[in-house]
Amino acid sequence: MHDPIDQLLAEHREIMAEVETLRRAVLDLRARGDAALPGAVPALASVGRMMATRLLRHARKEDEALFPAIEHALGAGGGPTAVMREDHRAIHERATVFRETLRELNEVEHPAIVAGGARLRALAGGGADAATLAETGEQVVSLLDLHFGKEEDILFPMAREALSRDALRAVAERMAAIEAEAA
């Protein structure tokens, strides 16, 4: 089986490699102003497109495959591994924190990322000045840095702990189905 967490991590790296283009474009816009527009606009447009395709697919894998599996494991008392390691009170406390983190990632940050991508595409399409483009680009970059960091530091380690081998296999299968839909 392909480890689904490893796959999501690999997708983070691929997505962030493309986001580097946006980071450089923002720096260039800040440094050179409107003179940087001819180079920066295509970069913003391309990252905007990636956010509507590859990044959206990545978020769907989390929203529809990984997060429900974690919710389910937390509901079942934190999963067999966690039960062996922790007392019930600690599991309960962590489950509450994890549920809040899940909700934030799913209901607040994923929609904010989708909206940021749409803003990038709209601005790149029509005559915005360097300062506006740089500001939107910075917002998207910091949103992604924060979001990916939270998933990598909190969510993915929690998933590794909470999910059984069977649960991980089911997540991998649902993720593959989402990927196949897009192909």
Provide the minimum distance between the beta carbon of 107 and Fe ion in the complex, in angstroms, as a whole number.
12
Stretch of residues binding Fe ion (CB under 5 A), selected from 56-64, 70-78, 85-93, 163-171: 56-64
Give CA–CA dist 57/51, Å, rounded: 9
Residue with smaller CB distance to Fe ion, 48 or 130: 48
Residues 75-114 touching Fe ion, rule: CB under 5 A, are none
Q: Is 140 in the site for Fe ion (CB under 5 A)?
A: no
Q: Is 62 in the site for Fe ion (CB under 5 A)?
A: yes
Contacts of residue 183, defined as CB under 8 A and 6 or more positions apart, other chains included, come to: none
Give CA–CA dist 37/75, Å, rounded: 50
Q: Which token pair is 109?
A: 């940050």
Q: Is 151 in the site for Fe ion (CB under 5 A)?
A: yes
Give CA–CA dist 50/33, Å, rounded: 25
Stretch of residues binding Fe ion (CB under 5 A), selected from 35-43, 53-61, 88-96, 172-180: 53-61
Stretch of residues binding Fe ion (CB under 5 A), selected from 78-86, 116-124, 145-153, 164-172: 145-153
